[in-house]
Structure 1
Amino acid sequence: MEYNRITNSKDPLFAQMHQLMQEIFPPEEVLEFNLWKEPLEDPGIRVFVAVHEGKVVGATEYRYYEDFNVAMTDFTIIGQAGLGVGPFLANKRSHDLQQLANENGQKLSGMFAEIYDPYRVEDFEFGGVKPMDPYVRREVLAHLGYKRIDFPYVHPSWNNDGEAVTGLDLCFLPMGENNTTIQSDLVVAFLKRYYTVLPNKPEAWLKMIEELESKEQLALKNI
């Protein structure tokens, strides 16, 4: 299996990846094809696909924030069961991020991820691919060490229509000694940076940020 980075929307592998995204994720979670040009060309956004026998069978997008010394996993897609796509992507991503942190003179302190709550997204089929089932994914991420950041989470729709998207938790994989709390100001700074690309913020998101700004720390809970 090959781990190939995509940096151009004209790459034929990108067309396969975007089609896979549409098959796996609900519409409000998928950025339109023609809006991918700038993100793919952004050196800070790392988009990789797992290619098996010339076919894209998985993908992951993530980024490393040098000033925060944290990463964010935007998404992970397993398009076919039985090939070991999930461990392959996780291992390759981890190695890449640790190398980026090392180049920054740091040891990676943690990684954010939005994780579906299976009790709130039962209607989503995720392309019928069992490894993408929210119950399975949540259990896998729990085993990896991810913790749920303890606050009610919403995010702006990637349709940029000002709608609030629910059904997910913002989680964090702590890699330092502290695995019970996270600084609220880090969460706020991260969310503001991450969603800069979406100017139409829903009122619920703005209220959430305001409430987070009034706190010092947030608990990290088991998922």
Structure 2
Amino acid sequence: MEYRRITNINDPLFKQMHQLMQDVFPPEEVLEFDLWKEPLEDPGIRVFVAVHEDKVVGATEYRYYEDFNVAMTDFTIIGQAGLGIGTYLAQNRLVDLQTLAAENNKKLSGMFAEIYNPYKVEHYEFGGVKPMDPYVRREVLAHLGYKRLDFDYVHPSWNNDGEAVTGLDLCFLPMNEETNELPSSLIVKFLKRYYTVLSNRPDSWYSMIENLEKKEKTALVYF
């Protein structure tokens, strides 16, 4: 298996990756093909695919914020079972992020991720790929060390239509296992930066931000 970075919309591997996204994710979570041009060319956004026998069988997008010294996993896709794709992507992603942090003269402090909460939303099929099942993914990520940030999370739809997307939790993987809370200010700064690209954000998103700003700390809790 190869870990290949995509930086151009014309890369043949990107067409495969985008189709895989459409097969796995609900429509509101998939950015239109042509709108990927700028993100792929952005040096701060890292899009990698797992290639097995010339076929894209998995993908992950993530970014590292030098000033926050945290990362964000935008998505992870496992295209089929039985190849160890999830482990392969997670291991290669972590090595890459630790290298980026070292270049920033720091040790990575942790990584954010949005995780579907199957206890809130059960109808997503995720292309029928069992490793993508929300219950399975939640357990896997819990074993990796992710914890849920203890607040009601909403995010703006990637359709940029101002709709709120619910049914997800914002989680964090601390590199220090003893970390059990985060400064709320870090979460707020991160979310404002992360969603700058979306001009239409729902009122519920702004209310969420306001509530976070009222708290000094936000607890990390087990799933």
* Normalised TM-score (structure 2): 0.99
Alpha-carbon distance, 1:175 to partner: 1.0
Residue equivalent to 2:25 = 25
Question: Where has structure 1 moved over 3 Å in runs of 4 or more?
Answer: none
Distance across 2 between alignment mates of 1:175 and 1:215: 23
Number of aligned pairs?
223
Alpha-carbon distance, 1:178 to partner: 4.1
Residue equivalent to 2:73 = 73
Residue equivalent to 2:5 = 5
Unaligned runs of 5+ in 2: none
Alpha-carbon distance, 1:104 to partner: 0.4
Unaligned runs of 5+ in 1: none
Residue equivalent to 1:53 = 53
Deviations 1:169-204 (A, max 9, x none): 000001126421110000000000000000001000
Distance across 1 between alignment mates of 2:140 and 2:176: 20
Note if 1:187 corresponds to 2:187. Answer: yes
Distance across 2 between alignment mates of 1:19 and 1:85: 17
Give the match's secondary structure for 1:48: strand
Superposition RMSD in Å: 0.7
**Which residues of 2 match residues 42-121 of structure 1 at below 5 A?**
42-121=42-121
Deviations 1:84-127 (A, max 9, x none): 10010000000000000000000000000000001122110000
Distance across 2 between alignment mates of 1:220 and 1:126: 27
Distance across 2 between alignment mates of 1:80 and 1:181: 35
Distance across 2 between alignment mates of 1:188 and 1:126: 29
Distance across 2 between alignment mates of 1:134 and 1:83: 19
Distance across 2 between alignment mates of 1:119 and 1:219: 20
Residue equivalent to 2:220 = 220
Q: Quote the sequence identity (%).
A: 78
Greater Cα offset, 82-91 or 175-184: 175-184
